[in-house]
Amino acid sequence: MEFRQLRYFMVVAEERHFGRAAARLHMAQPPLSQAIRRLEASLGVELLHRTTRRVALTDAGHAYLIRVRAILADVDDAGHEARRVAAGAVGHLTIGCVGSVTYSLLPALSRHLAVALPGVDFSFRGEMLAPDQVEALRSGEIDVALLRPPVADPALTVTPLRSDPLVVALPAAHPLAGSPSVGITDLRDEPLIVHSADRRSTMYGVVLGLFHDAGIEPRIRHEVGETSTLITLVAGGLGVAVVPAPVTALALEGVVYRPLTGPSATVDLALAHRSDRTEPHLARTLTLILALTGADRPGSST
């Protein structure tokens, strides 16, 4: 039995006429008749009653036609699904985000991906520190990471996206809240709230580096794991914090944000994935993220 014989049989059964079926299949009638005969011989049953005027289905032919239509429909669906997979239109991906991205880029990103790739099932994990994202990429818990470099892992492909300015989060009643901008030296005696050193936060190193470069010993009062917790503590008047500017999307009563001045008042954002991952839907997602952040345009900030 050959697969094309099934399609031949279905067309003949629908047309009830070999001549019309042959025309529909764009073939001569004799080869079509021979193909149906071979099909019947391979099955050991008669599928069609043939007369000089018309063709009728036998009881076996009726039963066989039902199954053949289902088989051909499944084959067509399989081909359609394969083409969608090859085009990167279906699949599942988990995207991990650092805290600042969780509150700024993630809402727009999730909407954009849902529209552009409706067949891909996306899930998101927010408030992930960069070291946790790297481990999750290695283990397959997440497929894409929006993180703060550096990332020293040769198994990962890391693409710079942009540099974010740093801002200072202050309690609304703080004396510096009325200033147009704040310098590191202004924070010399301020209690600091920082991301956790134990969890190897990138921002922890960035903030300490700013203070050390200014020759100031930072007064760390609280270390936290999540950006939302950090800003909540600032709102509670427990200290000040230096954070990436996208965190300002987390508008919380009792907190004001002021630009941080200085030559190193930026922090990078990057896109990371495992280098051995080549699925089409992953490649399309990476391209969409690059486009959304502007990192695919010549001269864009990295």
- What's residue 89's pLDDT? 66
- What's residue 83's pLDDT? 72
- What's residue 87's pLDDT? 64
Q: Average pLDDT per run of 10 along the chain, which is 302 residues long?
A: 86 90 92 92 91 84 92 82 67 92 89 90 91 94 95 93 95 96 95 86 92 94 92 96 94 95 91 93 92 67 36
Instruction: Note the residue count of the chain.
Output: 302
C-alpha pair distances (Å), 123 with each of 113, 141, 276: 11, 11, 21
d(CA 98, CA 119): 25
- What's residue 53's pLDDT? 74
- What's residue 84's pLDDT? 64
Question: ∠140-204-147 over CA atoms, to 5°?
Answer: 30
Q: Which two tokens stand for residue 193?
A: 């709230």
d(CA 42, CA 27): 22
Map tokens 């700024």 to a residue: 104
Q: Is 3-86 assigned to CATH 1.10.3720.10?
A: no
Q: Which two tokens stand for residue 205?
A: 């190193």
CATH class held by domain 162-267 = alpha beta
Options 2.40.110.10, 1.20.58.390, 3.40.190.10, 3.40.50.1000; CATH for 92-161+269-293 is: 3.40.190.10
- What's residue 180's pLDDT? 96
- What's residue 85's pLDDT? 64
3-86 and 92-161+269-293, same CATH topology: no
Q: Please state the domain extents for the chain.
A: 3-86, 92-161+269-293, 162-267
- What's residue 298's pLDDT? 47
Helix 280-293 to helix 105-116 angle (10° resolution) is: 130
Q: Is 178 left (phi over 0), alpha (psi -120 to 50) or beta?
A: alpha
Q: Which residues contact 63 (CB under 8 A, 6 or more apart)?
A: none
- What's residue 299's pLDDT? 43
- What's residue 196's pLDDT? 85
